[in-house]
Chain A
Amino acid sequence: MAATETATAKGTTRSGRIVRAVTHGPLSIFLLIVAILWLVPTFGLLVASFRTAADNNATGWWTALTQPAELTLEPYRNLLGDEEMVRSFVNTVLITIPAATLVVLVAALAAYAFAWIRFPGRDWLFIVVVGLLVVPLQIALIPVARLYNVLGLFGSIPGVVLFHLAFGLPFAIFLLRNFFVGIPHELLEAARMDGASEWRIFGRVVMPLALPAIASLLIFQFLWVWNDLLVALVFAGSESQPLTVTIREQLRSFGSNIDIIAPGAFLQLLVPLIVFFAFQRYFVQGLLAGSTK
């Protein structure tokens, strides 16, 4: 992250070093407290997910810290034995993977056209895409529900995927187009001189160069779709609903279902967390490239 470079740059000046030395103690302690505060909610969910409903309804999760015997794998065993939960987990994967890859593919093609092909109305069209960046997806719920009814997509996984594709596109096109225009044009011209077609340049020159941007986008869309509740709530059926919808259904009786809600929610956030820690750098890059959605 950028802070590392900054800190190094800062350390090179005397006053910078002094300032850091002076502020090091109390500031560090303050930030440590903040860090702990920030970690506690997730940690609490983790601990609660390893306790039975009876324990969770009698005492707070922190009692398990002094009585580790309370911790049990039973909630997770029950979760994995719950057919609906397992099916929703599979559905989440079946929705997320195609939605994320399709967005990248379709957006990359469009972004290439916006960046490298001159055609009438291009600037105007791109402004429309930028305008669509902030359109709330609520505007499309009712019309698309009607459309899906006609097309027979309502309540199906492809329907959910298609909707995610549509609302992921403006951001994806924006991000990739901005990356594409930064590619040195000599590279493209050289390819054209060699007689490569636009398709070839797109596939062999631009896409490989854009891998970092594509990685950020892929991660972004993955998290976006994996974490979605609203779209699935509207468009998924009982057979095609993802984990978020299934867990949400349990919330009505929060206390008595806590032994399924807590591990379910933790499982739901575990995958994004792994993705986040594995690809943190790309995640941050994507965020910085287009913080408008």
Chain B
Amino acid sequence: MSGTSRDEGILRDEPAATDTAPREEGPVVATAGAAAPETGPGPPPRRRPRISLVAVLFLLPALVVLGALVVYPIFFSIGRSLFDRAGDAFVGLDNYGEIFQSSATLTALKNNLIWVAFAPAIVTSLGLMYAVMTERVRWGTAFKVLIFMPMAISFLSAGVTWRLIYEENPDLGLANAAARGIVGVFRPPGEYPGARPSDEDVLAPAGQGYATSETFSPGDSSTLGLVAIPPDEVPADSVAAVQPPAPDGGISGTVWLDFTTGGGGESGVIDPTESGLPGVEVQALRGDDVVASATSAPNGTFVLTDLPEGSYRLALAESNFREPFGGVSWLGPTLVTPSIIVSYVWIWAGFAMVVIGAGLAAIPRDVLEAARVEGANEWQVFRRVTVPLLAPVLAVVLVTLVINVLKVFDLVLVIAPGSAQRSANVIALQMWKTGFGARDFGLGSALAVFLLLLVIPAMLFNIRRLRAEEG
């Protein structure tokens, strides 16, 4: 260890130090110093016990606490995991077998695997990206502070924050509001979701839309009645429906709400008070191909023109009936784990960025310059010089994150709603539920020991790193 030579110095200086030590400065040291020279037989044993006593006093509080609350519990848990839930009967490794059999723990294992496979890698890549990028903008420090800020926030508050974001209703949850905006561009919601034909003999379901059973030829007219449209969802520009206009060489028709408020209307007939349905996309089909299309006017009329001779079916396109975007179930059984991982990335990216950024600052600039002078472009410099030089730092970040991810608990507990907790389960959460919910101390201990086993490689990594650093 690096401190060796200094420590020899301590030993040599010790007698002088204790002899002149003022009385009030801790009698322990003074006594120890005075007693040792007389009792010790030879130089090495004489020095050792005396120094040790000081060391013991310095170490005692830490060792007692660590021993009682960390080290002893490790052995206790290992022992306890071999007994049943009440601790009466020795069950050997049965509790460990249970981990690989019960569906709750298997889900937890699977989810931990997903966590370990994705979260550390995503966090580290983002951290690397941000660290490299912030070096090149003037306001890099401000950016770093901002990205790093979530590190100071508790998992509980972060969890609450993300639960707000993940609300399924697009009116409430930001994620779905944004998704609705994007989906709306590519698949705008239909004007008449939920509407259906008044007479299924006229219009039969075809895919998500409807198509006529009979065929029409240029010169024909049709009446296409729809029902199940609430009055408040009829567009404001709608006016009373009229009979189909003259086909004029094409196929004409009327799409209308075949329903008279207050009753009295006749189904399939355009009654005077019934409304036209504007904005309906009507298509002429030959076989299954769309040959022409038209959009209905405020009074519900449309004319399909430019049709070659022949017979066509008329279809009301799917887009007319498309439901508005209802929101993705971010916290439903399938997406809950990826969604929580996103919130984790939000919290930890700053950590990776800062640690990698410090590593980046330590890279000699002339190495990068040399590569640039050699003609390497920025990407090559990054890929061939920066990343390899950063490898040790990246390894530390990854290992730290893997340990952290294995122990993930609060985020899952807070973000996953009650209904999705089983699907989002992780080992640490299951341990808490088993030990303190179900009070099964045997299985709970086994889960804790299992968690410990998982971090042992990281433990060895740390110890090796320490040894390498200390030489």
Contacting pair A142 B448 (CB below 8 A)? yes
Contacting pair B55 A119 (CB below 8 A)? yes
Binds A, one of B15-23, B188-196, B203-211, B306-314: B15-23
Contacting pair B136 A34 (CB below 8 A)? no
Q: CA separation between A5 and B458, bound complex, in Å? A: 33
Interface: B150 (CB within 8 A): yes
Q: CA separation between A254 and B3, bound complex, in Å? A: 55
Chain A residues lying within 8 Å of B156, measured Cβ to Cβ, are 227, 229, 244, 247-248, 265, 268
Determine which residue in A115, A173, A199 has the highest number of CB atoms from chain B within 10 A of its CB, and name it.
Answer: A199
Contacting pair B68 A195 (CB below 8 A)? no
Residue of A123, A140, A195 touching B69 (CB-CB under 8 A): A140
Contacting pair A135 B452 (CB below 8 A)? yes
Q: CA separation between A4 and B378, bound complex, in Å? A: 20
Residue of A56, A118, A162, A195 touching B11 (CB-CB under 8 A): A118
Beyond A41-B164, A142-B448, A202-B58, list 15 extra A-B contacts (CB 8 Å). Answer: A3-B141, A15-B373, A24-B136, A110-B63, A113-B55, A131-B462, A135-B74, A138-B431, A140-B77, A166-B68, A169-B65, A192-B17, A227-B153, A265-B161, A284-B354
Q: A61-B164, A276-B152, A288-B358 are in contact. Are A27 and B130 (CB under 8 A)?
A: no
Q: How would residues 428 to 446 of chain B score, 1 for a CB under 8 Å from any chain A CB and 0 otherwise? A: 1001100110000100110
Contacting pair A192 B59 (CB below 8 A)? no
Binds B, one of A42-50, A65-73, A74-82, A209-217: A42-50
Interface: A106 (CB within 8 A): yes
Q: A41-B162, A252-B418, A273-B152 are in contact. Are A141 and B436 (CB under 8 A)?
A: yes
15 contacts between A and B (CB under 8 A): A10-B135, A10-B365, A13-B365, A15-B373, A23-B378, A34-B130, A45-B157, A109-B62, A119-B56, A120-B48, A140-B69, A142-B448, A143-B76, A165-B65, A228-B154
Contacting pair B409 A198 (CB below 8 A)? no
Q: CA separation between A114 and B373, bound complex, in Å? A: 48
Q: CA separation between A227 and B154, bound complex, in Å? A: 5
Q: A139-B77, A142-B441 are in contact. Are A230 and B409 (CB under 8 A)?
A: yes
Q: CA separation between A230 and B1, bound complex, in Å? A: 37
Residue of B52, B138, B357 touching A119 (CB-CB under 8 A): B52
Looking at chain A's contact residues, the main secondary structure is helix
Chain A residues lying within 8 Å of B20, measured Cβ to Cβ, are 195
Residue of A3, A123, A202 touching B140 (CB-CB under 8 A): A3
Interface: B93 (CB within 8 A): no
Chain B residues lying within 8 Å of A141, measured Cβ to Cβ, are 431-432, 435-436, 444, 448
Residue of B65, B77, B171, B406 touching A59 (CB-CB under 8 A): B171
Chain A contact-residue range equals 35 or more
Q: How would residues 126 to 147 of chain B score, 1 for a CB under 8 Å from any chain A CB and 0 otherwise? A: 0000100111111111011111
Binds A, one of B213-221, B285-293, B294-302, B395-403: B395-403
Contacting pair A116 B17 (CB below 8 A)? no
Q: CA separation between A148 and B414, bound complex, in Å? A: 27
Q: CA separation between A56 and B346, bound complex, in Å? A: 23
Interface: B121 (CB within 8 A): no
Chain B residues lying within 8 Å of A136, measured Cβ to Cβ, are 406-407, 428, 448, 451-452, 455
Interface: A94 (CB within 8 A): no
Q: Which of A159-204 contact B (CB under 8 A)?
A: 162-163, 165-167, 169-170, 173, 181, 185, 188-189, 192-193, 195-200, 202
Q: How would residues 1 to 36 of chain B score, 1 for a CB under 8 Å from any chain A CB and 0 otherwise? A: 111001111110110111111100110011000000
Q: A31-B134, A139-B77, A287-B351 are in contact. Are A5 and B361 (CB under 8 A)?
A: yes
Number of interface residues of B (CB under 8 A): 128
Chain B residues lying within 8 Å of A163, measured Cβ to Cβ, are 69
Chain A residues lying within 8 Å of B435, measured Cβ to Cβ, are 141-142
Contacting pair A48 B164 (CB below 8 A)? yes
Residue of A27, A229, A266, A273 touching B413 (CB-CB under 8 A): A229
Contacting pair B65 A272 (CB below 8 A)? no
Determine which residue in B8, B137, B174 has the highest number of CB atoms from chain A within 10 A of its CB, and name it.
Answer: B137
Taking CB as reference atom, which chain A residue is nearest B17? A192
- Within the complex, what minimum Cβ distance (angstroms) separates B404 from chain A? 8
Contacting pair B62 A59 (CB below 8 A)? no
Q: A116-B10, A134-B459 are in contact. Are A28 and B137 (CB under 8 A)?
A: yes
Q: A127-B466, A134-B459 are in contact. Are A15 and B369 (CB under 8 A)?
A: yes
Contacting pair B2 A45 (CB below 8 A)? no
Contacting pair A38 B172 (CB below 8 A)? no
Contacting pair A292 B400 (CB below 8 A)? yes
- Within the complex, what minimum Cβ distance (angstroms) separates B470 from chain A? 8
Q: CA separation between A10 and B221, bound complex, in Å? A: 76
Q: How would residues 224 to 248 of chain A score, 1 for a CB under 8 Å from any chain B CB and 0 otherwise? A: 0011111001100000000010011
- Within the complex, what minimum Cβ distance (angstroms) separates B448 from chain A? 4
Interface: A107 (CB within 8 A): yes
Q: How would residues 100 to 139 of chain A score, 1 for a CB under 8 Å from any chain B CB and 0 otherwise? A: 0000001101101111111110110101011111111111
Taking CB as reference atom, which chain A residue is nearest B350? A38
Contacting pair A109 B59 (CB below 8 A)? yes
Contacting pair A144 B418 (CB below 8 A)? no
Interface: B114 (CB within 8 A): no
Residue of A59, A123, A169, A261 touching B66 (CB-CB under 8 A): A169
Contacting pair A38 B150 (CB below 8 A)? yes
Q: CA separation between A182 and B140, bound complex, in Å? A: 30
Q: How would residues 67 to 93 of chain B score, 1 for a CB under 8 Å from any chain A CB and 0 otherwise? A: 011111110110010000000000000
- Within the complex, what minimum Cβ distance (angstroms) separates A143 from chain B? 4
Contacting pair A288 B355 (CB below 8 A)? yes
Q: CA separation between A148 and B413, bound complex, in Å? A: 25
Chain B residues lying within 8 Å of A254, measured Cβ to Cβ, are 163, 417
- Within the complex, what minimum Cβ distance (angstroms) separates B122 from chain A? 14
Residue of B10, B138, B172 touching A117 (CB-CB under 8 A): B10
Task: Enumerate the 4 nearest inter-chain pairs by beta-carbon distance, A residue then B residue, closest first.
Answer: A227-B154, A195-B20, A166-B69, A110-B62
Contacting pair A283 B152 (CB below 8 A)? yes
Residue of B26, B59, B146, B403 touching A113 (CB-CB under 8 A): B59
Contacting pair B444 A189 (CB below 8 A)? no
Contacting pair A138 B432 (CB below 8 A)? yes
Q: Which of A2-47 contact B (CB under 8 A)?
A: 2-7, 9-10, 13, 15-16, 19-20, 23-24, 27-28, 30-31, 34-35, 38-42, 44-45
Chain B residues lying within 8 Å of A6, measured Cβ to Cβ, are 135, 360-361
Residue of B136, B144, B396, B410 touching A1 (CB-CB under 8 A): B144
